[in-house]
């Protein structure tokens, strides 16, 4: 009888067949099979093994979708040029897999205080810690996305670039660091990429059969940031108490699920607009007529519309600083322009656009002025309803954002726009998929949902989805806000979900009422339930304020370590059962 070291897993004949196959694999095939099996067990998407014609990997790191959109754009262009490339998120790439590729093109953003996008943090950390791998076969280039008003501008892209070089990969092109107005620089980088990668002439005009086909994925996205869906506002309801400074609203818009379908856990991208009063103040300070025609992305429109809908009228960027210094012919502005990057950044962060153009008056050409302004960025809001439960609406939960700037209080452009939009008015939206914050496919595993503030929104969609699908599973909601009497968001929804058997347990933390209490406390107070659920395969979700949710996660991890269950946390983390949506 064959000596079988895995008798309890494989029948003798199956084990022999496996051995016969393994003995015939070369090193590259063995490496791919290891990654394939690891990915399948961890729930990751499996990246196909490259052949000699498809040894190009376009990898992106993204939270808001900009890097992913550029990566797929590069993939589409490469396909048309006869270059078969695979497009994947860095979250699905293992460092060892880079040994299989000849070309790697990374497009990655930076978030927070110089941090990598949360979904790709595991890859980032593994690459930074890697010492043994030698990537001398790899040619690479990096496109870094960032915001120059932040201190650690494009930090993640810079670090990835330096680390790949340190591991002996060959830098094919110099890294390009892009500000928020990245379109021109990104296209130039992509054009340069396409000039240096060898073509497979037989592939021109033919789509690869891989399920990673960029064109197939793009075809599913009917609406996008460039092609938004115009919807009617049905309701704008204040959820929080009237005396609360930073109000929280519930907004519903009309959609047809057949035209605009979303999955619980996804986000709605909103193309916000600047307040009319700010647009008027900018036009007045620049001494420009609002009706003058300008071009935005080759589309003609009145200047007032361009400023209201397409341009950031709050933060002046580097291009505006350069243009205005020359136009105003001001020595102080010229001195700032001649100084180092830190001084320029500090100046731009302490002057809003209206401050700069009022303090240093000048009358620009309307087109030049529009071209020098940063693009107005869309905002993402978590979907707060299930279309299986309410199929002709989308719901958003929005909190007013206020901040102090010098001696005045400013309102966030996006939240101010949404909190003041009226029923019957229209707004422009697009879907933003978030596949890493979805309900698990297995219907028998418990759910632990932890939310701070408006982070409660996606859980409302989760529970509506479970109710519509008539799926009964153990579900535990832990929610934190300010005051019980005034800020218990969607309280009736949770009561109904509990009555319907969709929600098993609800625990709350109200910071004003209980200043000593933290988000982790309800879980640790019910430690037996928490550990039992995690041992039985529970998925843990964290949504809302990054600082508070990160502290909650650290507290849970620390407690498990103190109670000699550290391996349990590693197990749920490695099996992709922790889902984070932090901001």
Between 425 and 147, residue with greater pLDDT: 425
What φ, ψ does residue 301 adopt, rounded to 5°? -160, 160
Between 570 and 43, residue with greater pLDDT: 570
pLDDT tens for 437-476 read 999 999 889 999 999 999 999 999 999 999 998 888 899 9
Write down the pLDDT at residue 564. 83
Sequence-distant (6+) residues with CB within 8 A of 118 are: 63, 111, 580, 582
- What size, in residues, is the chain? 583
- How close are the terminal C-alpha atoms of the chain, in Å? 59
The span from the CA of 500 to the CA of 130, in Å, is 50
Reply yes or no on domain 43-208 having CATH 3.40.50.2000. Answer: no
Write down the pLDDT at residue 25. 64
Instruction: With a cut of 50, say whether residue 273 has pLDDT above it.
Output: yes
Write down the pLDDT at residue 38. 53
Write down the pLDDT at residue 565. 84
pLDDT tens for 403-418 read 999 889 999 999 999 9
- Which one of 3.40.605.10, 3.40.50.2020, 3.40.50.80, 2.160.20.80 gives the CATH number of domain 447-582? 3.40.50.80
Q: Highest mean pLDDT: which of 183-187, 238-242, 266-270? A: 266-270
Instruction: With a cut of 80, say whether residue 221 has pLDDT above it.
Output: no
Average pLDDT (520-525) is: 96
Average pLDDT (10-38) is: 63
Residue from 260, 357, 345, 257 nearest 313 by CA: 357
The span from the CA of 57 to the CA of 139, in Å, is 10
Write down the pLDDT at residue 200. 63
Q: Each residue of 565-581: b (16+ CB within 10 Å) or e?
A: beebbeebeeebbbbbb
Q: Residue 206: which pLDDT band, with cuts at 50, 70 and 90? A: very low
Instruction: With a cut of 80, say whether residue 40 has pLDDT above it.
Output: no
| Contact status, residue 58 vs residue 117, Cβ threshold 8 Å | no
Average pLDDT (544-566) is: 92
Write down the pLDDT at residue 312. 97
Write down the pLDDT at residue 215. 41
Q: Which residue has the tokens 């115009």?
A: 230
Sequence-distant (6+) residues with CB within 8 A of 161 are: 106, 142, 144, 171, 175
Q: In the chain, which segments carry CATH 2.40.30.10? A: 229-266+378-432
Average pLDDT (55-64) is: 91
Instruction: With a cut of 90, say whether residue 579 has pLDDT above it.
Output: yes
Mean residue pLDDT across the chain: 87
| Structure tokens that stand for 350 in this block | 């302490």
Write down the pLDDT at residue 208. 39
Q: Residue 5: which pLDDT band, with cuts at 50, 70 and 90? A: very low
Instruction: With a cut of 50, say whether residue 539 has pLDDT above it.
Output: yes
- Give helix then strand counts, H and E, for the chain: 22, 21
Instruction: With a cut of 90, say whether residue 131 has pLDDT above it.
Output: no
Q: Residue 11: which pLDDT band, with cuts at 50, 70 and 90? A: low
Instruction: With a cut of 90, say whether residue 580 has pLDDT above it.
Output: yes
Query: What is the DSSP code string of 237-271?
Result: EE-S-TT-SS-EEEEEEE--TTTS---TT-EEEEE
Kindly report the CATH class assigned to 229-266+378-432: mainly beta
Write down the pLDDT at residue 199. 74
Q: Residue 305: which pLDDT band, with cuts at 50, 70 and 90? A: very high
Instruction: With a cut of 50, say whether residue 205 has pLDDT above it.
Output: no
For 335, the 3-state DSSP assignment is helix
Q: In the chain, which segments carry CATH 3.40.50.80? A: 447-582
The span from the CA of 47 to the CA of 41, in Å, is 14
Q: Which residue has the tokens 């319907």?
A: 500
Give the range among 108-117, 135-144, 453-462 with minimum mean pLDDT: 108-117
Q: In the chain, which segments carry CATH 1.20.990.10? A: 276-372
Write down the pLDDT at residue 209. 33
The span from the CA of 583 to the CA of 115, in Å, is 12
Write down the pLDDT at residue 1. 40
Write down the pLDDT at residue 475. 97
Give the range among 32-46, 206-220, 453-467, 561-575 with minimum mean pLDDT: 206-220
Kindly report the CATH class assigned to 276-372: mainly alpha
What φ, ψ does residue 231 adopt, rounded to 5°? -125, 160
The span from the CA of 486 to the CA of 488, in Å, is 6
The span from the CA of 155 to the CA of 120, in Å, is 14
| Contact status, residue 546 vs residue 583, Cβ threshold 8 Å | yes
Residue from 394, 473, 475 nearest 432 by CA: 394
Region of residue 539 (left: phi > 0; alpha: psi -120 to 50; beta: else): beta
Give the range among 52-61, 123-132, 137-146, 481-490 with minimum mean pLDDT: 52-61
Q: In the chain, which segments carry CATH 3.40.50.360? A: 43-208
Average pLDDT (77-99) is: 90
Q: Residue 237: which pLDDT band, with cuts at 50, 70 and 90? A: very high
Q: With helix as H, strand as E and coil as C, how does 175-205 read?
A: CEEECCCCHHHHHHHHHHHHHHCCCCHHHCC
The span from the CA of 454 to the CA of 142, in Å, is 35
Average pLDDT (483-505) is: 91
Instruction: With a cut of 80, say whether residue 390 has pLDDT above it.
Output: yes
Q: Residue 110: which pLDDT band, with cuts at 50, 70 and 90? A: very high
Residue from 366, 382, 373 nearest 434 by CA: 382
Average pLDDT (248-267) is: 92
Q: Residue 84: which pLDDT band, with cuts at 50, 70 and 90? A: confident
Average pLDDT (537-547) is: 96
Q: Residue 371: which pLDDT band, with cuts at 50, 70 and 90? A: very high
Average pLDDT (503-532) is: 94
């Amino acid at each position: 009888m064959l000596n079988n070291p895995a008798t309890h897993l494989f029948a003798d004949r199956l084990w022999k067949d496996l051995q016969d196959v393994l003995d015939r694999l070369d090193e590259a095939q063995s490496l791919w099979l290891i990654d394939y099996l690891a990915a399948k067990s961890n729930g990751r998407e499996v990246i196909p093994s490259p052949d000699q014609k498809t040894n190009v990997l376009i990898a992106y790191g993204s939270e808001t979708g900009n890097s992913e959109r550029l990566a797929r754009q590069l993939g589409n262009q490469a396909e048309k040029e006869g270059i078969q490339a695979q497009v994947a998120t860095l979250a699905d790439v293992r460092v060892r897999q880079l040994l299989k590729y000849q070309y790697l093109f990374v497009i990655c953003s930076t978030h927070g205080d110089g941090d990598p996008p949360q979904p790709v943090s595991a890859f980032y950390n593994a690459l930074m810690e890697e010492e043994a791998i030698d990537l001398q076969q790899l040619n690479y280039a990096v496109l870094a996305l960032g915001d120059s008003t932040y201190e650690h501008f494009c930090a993640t892209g810079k670090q990835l670039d330096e680390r790949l070089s340190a591991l002996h990969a060959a830098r094919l092109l110099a890294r390009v660091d892009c500000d928020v107005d990245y379109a021109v620089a990104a296209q130039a980088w992509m054009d340069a990429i396409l000039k240096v990668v060898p073509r497979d002439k037989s592939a021109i005009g033919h789509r690869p059969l891989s399920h990673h086909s960029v064109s197939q994925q793009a075809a599913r996205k009917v609406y996008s940031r460039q092609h938004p869906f115009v919807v009617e506002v049905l309701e704008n309801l204040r959820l929080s108490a009237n005396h609360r400074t930073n109000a929280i609203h519930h907004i519903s818009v009309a959609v047809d699920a057949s035209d605009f379908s979303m999955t619980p856990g996804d986000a709605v991208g909103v193309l916000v607009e600047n307040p009319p009063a700010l647009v008027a103040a900018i036009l007045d300070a620049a001494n420009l007529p609002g009706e003058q025609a300008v071009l935005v992305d080759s589309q003609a429109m009145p200047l007032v519309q361009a400023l209201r809908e397409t341009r950031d009228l709050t933060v002046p960027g580097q291009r505006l600083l350069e243009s205005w210094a020359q136009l105003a012919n001001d020595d102080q502005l010229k001195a700032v322009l001649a100084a180092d990057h830190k001084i320029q950044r500090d100046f731009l962060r302490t002057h809003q656009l209206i401050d700069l153009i009022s303090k240093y008056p000048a009358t620009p050409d309307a087109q030049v002025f529009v071209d020098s302004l940063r693009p107005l960025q869309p905002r993402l809001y978590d979907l707060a309803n299930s279309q299986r439960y309410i199929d002709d609406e989308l719901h958003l939960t929005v909190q007013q954002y206020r901040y102090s700037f010098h001696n005045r209080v400013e309102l966030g452009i996006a939240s101010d726009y949404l909190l003041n939009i009226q029923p019957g008015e229209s707004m422009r939206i697009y879907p933003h998929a978030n596949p890493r914050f979805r309900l698990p496919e297995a219907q028998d595993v418990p759910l632990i949902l932890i939310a701070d503030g408006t982070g409660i929104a996606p859980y409302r969609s989760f529970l509506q989805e479970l109710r519509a699908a008539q799926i009964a599973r153990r579900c535990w909601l832990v929610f934190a806000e300010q005051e019980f009497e005034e800020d218990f968001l969607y309280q009736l929804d949770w009561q109904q979900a509990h009555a319907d058997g969709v929600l098993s347990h609800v625990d709350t933390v109200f910071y004003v009422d209980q200043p000593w209490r933290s988000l982790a406390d309800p879980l640790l107070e019910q430690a037996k339930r928490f550990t039992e659920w995690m041992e039985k395969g529970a998925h843990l979700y964290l949504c809302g304020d990054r600082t508070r949710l990160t502290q909650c996660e650290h507290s849970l991890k620390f407690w498990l370590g103190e109670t000699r269950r550290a391996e349990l946390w590693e197990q749920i983390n490695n099996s992709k059962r922790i889902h984070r949506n932090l901001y």
